Amino acid sequence: MSNKLISEMGLPKPISNVFTARNLLTAKDVLSVPELDLATLLDAGLDVVSSAVARISELACPPHHTALSLMEERMRNEPSGGHLSTSLVGLDRALCGGVPFGAVTELVGPSGVGKTQFCLKLSLLATLPTCYGGLNGRVIYFDTESKFSSRRMIEIGENAFPHIFRLEGMAQKMAGRIVVLRPTSLSELTESLQQMRLKLIQHEVKLLVIDSMAALVSGENERSTSGSRQPTLRWPLPFLKSLAEFSRIPVVVTNQIRSQNSDEAFHYQFQGHSKNTIKNTERLDSYLTAALGIQWAHAVNIRLIFEVYSGQRFIKVAKSPISPPVAFPFVVDSSGISLVSDDGIEVMGQDISTIHCQGQSVFDM
Contact between 286 and 274 (Cβ < 8 Å): no
Domain locations along the chain? 6-60, 74-353
Q: Rounded to whole angstroms, how far apart are CA atoms 49 and 211?
A: 63
- Residue among 176, 172, 163, 96 nearest 132 (CA): 163
Specify the pLDDT at position 271: 47
CA 256 to each of CA 77, 106, 332: distance values in angstroms, whole numbers, following the listed order: 35, 10, 18
Specify the pLDDT at position 282: 43
Contact between 114 and 122 (Cβ < 8 Å): no
Q: Return all residues near 176 (Cβ < 8 A) that are at least 6 apart.
A: none
Top CATH class, 74-353? alpha beta
Q: Return all residues near 161 (Cβ < 8 A) that are at least 6 apart.
A: 124, 128, 132
Q: Rounded to whole angstroms, how far apart are CA atoms 188 and 158?
A: 34
CA angle 83, 87, 91 (to 5 degrees): 75
Listed as ranges, residues in the chain with pLDDT below 70 are 1-2, 71, 78-80, 219-235, 260-287, 358-365
> Helices 213-223 and 186-195 sit at what angle, rounded to 10 degrees?
130
The pLDDT tens digits for 62-109 are 777 788 877 677 777 766 678 999 999 999 999 999 999 999 999 999
Q: Rounded to whole angstroms, how far apart are CA atoms 82 and 98?
A: 9
Q: Rounded to whole angstroms, how far apart are CA atoms 290 and 260?
A: 10
Q: Rounded to whole angstroms, how far apart are CA atoms 330 and 333?
A: 9
CA 328 to chain centre: 20
Specify the pLDDT at position 361: 39
Contact between 86 and 99 (Cβ < 8 Å): yes
- Residue among 53, 43, 63, 46 nearest 9 (CA): 53
Specify the pLDDT at position 269: 47
Q: What is the DSSP string of 274-298?
A: -SS----TT-GGGGEEETTHHHHHH
Specify the pLDDT at position 2: 64
Please tell me the pTM assigned to this model: 0.74
Specify the pLDDT at position 79: 62
Identity of the residue numbered 284: L
